[in-house]
Amino acid sequence: MGIKETVSNPYSKWLDASGPDSDVVISSRIRLARNIVDQPFPHLLGTEDAEKVVYAVNSVVEHSPFKDAPGGMELSRMTELSPTERQILVEKHLISPALLEQPEKKAVVLRDDEVVSIMVNEEDHLRIQCLLPGLQLKECWDIANQVDDGMEQILDYAFCEEKGYLTSCPTNVGTGLRASVMLHLPALVMTQQISSVLTSLSKLGLTVRGLYGEGTQATGNLFQVSNQVTLGLTEEEIIDNLLMVAAQLVSQERAARQALHKEQRHHIEDRVWRAYGLLRYARLITSSEAMSLFSDLRLGVDLEIIPGVPPGLITELIIMTRPAFLNRLNDKEINPHQRDIYRAKLIRERLQSLSR
């Protein structure tokens, strides 16, 4: 699947709700920060040196060990994509918003199944990412590590025996690894436990962000939890620590859901059915309203209150109804009011098709 098909298709493997504990854990991600020796960090790169980095990465992708690898990988320069197409890659979590800045210096490598992406000249020369559905951090690590080893066979990484991998931001020095899980925590929010949970996470050296990472707020009761420290810990220790915390959060969220359904059954059932009714019949839905309604609907599906709605479809609708993807579906940029109309129409059609 080429880059043009990627930006035309709302589906990504991490959306399919097939992984372990996917009733709470939407996705797992491993990201590795790497830099090429004797090259300035990306924020100091001129256009000519930035192109040298892109060329070096592309040379690796086009040759062994990647040339004949299953799935196939392809490098695309950001200037080859329209602003809408670039934003869709952000909405699909395949790149960060930072890769949109100075596109003439940047590129992205995508594996056909979108499980692996490599951002080139973002904050570091390489940001190797693996993204899978559910709680699969170790599986993500295995894939990302294989890609990293393949790149390192040809590229000379900036590495210090004492400090580890050298990175643009000091907080990434060491392993250069960021492990994260995206969690749906509506019951912890409804029972007002979320503040104490987030406080506890910060004491454990973890950070909590919104749907699109650093600088974003939690919407739709989706929270991204990741490690803060990369120096002084091994990759396995970082991953094991986050796995332990994620398992605890899954247990807490499930307990809160069951308690809510038992103690406030009519209230919860009314809430999720109202959400389903609005999504199925409304003529105008804003982006923020859609996120809230999707959260309630997903809760109803996971509690088996609402039958016949695949959980993966709800996550896919989140991507499909974001502004850039709506523009793509219309083959033009539409204003916010038009997006609200089209968003509602799109959701209605997808949900009503289930009953047919």
Pick out the residues of the known binding site for ATP.
27-31, 93, 127, 178-182, 209-214
Which residues are CB-contacts of 232 (< 8 A; sequence separation ≥ 6)?
A: 174
| Helices 137-152 + 235-263 axis angle, to 10 | 150
Burial (CB < 10 A; 0-12, 13-18, 19+), residue 67, is exposed
- Which residues contribute to the annotated binding site? 27-31, 93, 127, 178-182, 209-214
H-type alpha helices, the chain: 3-6, 47-61, 83-91, 137-152, 186-190, 194-203, 235-263, 265-281, 287-302, 311-320, 323-330, 336-355
| Helices 336-355 + 323-330 axis angle, to 10 | 80
Are the CB atoms for 341 and 46 separated by under 8 Å?
no
Q: What are phi and psi of 72, to 5 degrees?
A: 75, 145
Question: What's the CA gap between 18 and 46, in Å, rounded?
Answer: 43
